[in-house]
Amino acid sequence: MVYRYQEWTDGLHNFDNHVVLSLELCLFLRENLQNHVSASRVIDSLEGLRRVKFPSRDTIFHAYCHFEALTDTDYMYSCINCGFHPPVVVMDLHRKGVFKLAVSDLKAPEDFNGEHDIEGFWNSIHLEMISRGFFPSGVKNPFSVPPSYTHWAPWIGSETRTSDIVLNTEFQKVGTSSSHEAKLSSVTEDRLLDELAKQKVGVVRKLCKACSIDSKGSRFDLITRLREKMKSRQTYDKVFQSIWGASGGWSVILCPHGIVYSVKFNLRAESPRDFADLLLSWKHMPNVCVYDFARGLVAHTNLRVPDKLPFHPHEGRLAEPTEENVKAAQDGSLKVNLPWLHERMDSVNENPHPVTGSSDHYVLYDRFHEGNTKDPKDILRRIQLVPELKGWLNSQVVEQFFANMRKSNYFLSNMSPSTHVFLMRNITHHYNTVTNKKLLERQLRHGRLGKINISLSALGQAVVAPQVCNKPRETTETVLNPAPSITSGKS
């Protein structure tokens, strides 16, 4: 009988019966990843310090992933202030979050509806990490998970999503047969051209060469030629990859406190489709989404569910797009109160948001991206029009999160796709845990409550109950507590 030692109470983690890590080393590697130090750099330092030769860096890194895969982590992805269903979210694309992937390796599926079993997918990723303890590197691992349109799920916490079936409809990015898709891809192309125009002329010239286009002339000539050639998907993908990296980046949804709720690892160039996939997989769509490509998101999402428009009223604008309203917004005299952000309203509509009681769904612009829109009616999407959000909503939390993650790109973008998504989901979980801990400490300092009990309410919000009082005090008003800076002074 073969016995495999996989106990942990002795403080050890067995990887492959040859390499055994101490739990302390595992936790040390985890902390280092949070501080943007790769496993191989940690081992370099330890080797220098101890003057002992360590096993290969890859083996130790795989052993660490093996440890994380066997650790009982809940991946809740939920903020203690907002709970499982945040009423306000900020969304953005982390363009530099990429893994090595040749688009030509992806096969368009036949007869597929875009539904993925989220638990099944992530279990298969975990199984790959665990199986590495049984298959020496260099041997083909039958459990490896290659990226594919039919088996590549995003991550959304178990309480936040509708069910274990979530959407990833990236395969539909392939064909631009329908006029709707064509329209959307042309908008995405506009954004790509905008990015292209910001590049140094040398970069554009190189790109022209790579796409076998005449690379002589001014920057304007080069971009005009590229634009013409970009009508073919092949050139489009090439330009996209060179500007935005190998795969399509991560589509991320955060609450205003900086907790990550959902992350989707795109295989192809991002489009509003990716955020629509995520939001349509949520149990309760947020009342307010902040996104720099609001118009595209609304057009796409409302076309996908035409019988029950997800973004309404006014196509997710704060007021009816009449001339008077647009003018009042330009003058600064228009104010749109959303009182239910502070106090839950009695629901009159079907399917209200459980925290606010409202069934309105708006898509607003972050003030830093207002220049993105050419449509004057979109001034009715300004955060500043809402007194409850103005000055409170710190959409920079996303920038902070991305800035933090960019520091880890040097090792994350060199990983295989499955390792990349596994580690990213794990690193983000620990990031969320640290942020939640800071939020809780901050809240307790504010309250000066002394000895208290803290528990989670049915909606996943931290509920504070002083010991003298038996009835827990619902703290839904804390939803609008200011978001703390999570950079904590580190450069």
The residue ranges that bind Zn ion (CB under 5 A) are 79, 81-82, 255, 257
Q: Residue 271 or 461: which CB sits closer to Zn ion?
A: 461
Q: Distance from CA of residue 278 to its chain's centroid?
A: 9
Q: Residue 120 or 391: which CB sits closer to Zn ion?
A: 391
The CB-of-357 to Zn ion minimum distance in angstroms stands at 18
Report the alpha-carbon distance of residue 249 to residue 93 in Å, rounded: 7
Q: Residue 257 or 353: which CB sits closer to Zn ion?
A: 257
The CB-of-86 to Zn ion minimum distance in angstroms stands at 6
State whether the Cα torsion 253-259-262-266 is positive or negative.
positive
Contact 318, 386 (CB under 8 A): yes
Q: Residue 249 or 460: which CB sits closer to Zn ion?
A: 460
Q: Residue 79 or 427: which CB sits closer to Zn ion?
A: 79
The CB-of-254 to Zn ion minimum distance in angstroms stands at 8
State whether the Cα torsion 196-398-279-149 is positive or negative.
positive
Q: Residue 257 or 382: which CB sits closer to Zn ion?
A: 257
The CB-of-318 to Zn ion minimum distance in angstroms stands at 22
Residue nearest to Zn ion (CB): 79
Report the candidate in 375, 372, 388, 378 with the shortest Cα–Cα distance to residue 480: 388
Q: Is 30 exposed, middle or buried (0-12, 13-18, 19+ CB in 10 A)?
A: middle
Contact 119, 74 (CB under 8 A): no
State whether the Cα torsion 392-393-395-397 is positive or negative.
positive
Length of the chain equals 491
Q: Residue 143 or 392: which CB sits closer to Zn ion?
A: 392
Report the alpha-carbon distance of residue 269 to residue 156 in Å, rounded: 21
Report the alpha-carbon distance of residue 481 to residue 473 in Å, rounded: 16
Q: Give the tokens for residue 15.
A: 């990887």
Q: Residue 106 or 254: which CB sits closer to Zn ion?
A: 254
Report the alpha-carbon distance of residue 15 to residue 311 in Å, rounded: 49
The CB-of-144 to Zn ion minimum distance in angstroms stands at 36
CA distances from 385 to 192, 381, 388 (A): 29, 8, 9
Q: Residue 271 or 432: which CB sits closer to Zn ion?
A: 432
The CB-of-84 to Zn ion minimum distance in angstroms stands at 11
Contact 268, 173 (CB under 8 A): yes
Q: Give the tokens for residue 312.
A: 């309404």
Strands (E) in 299-358, as ranges, are none
Element (H, E) at 376: none
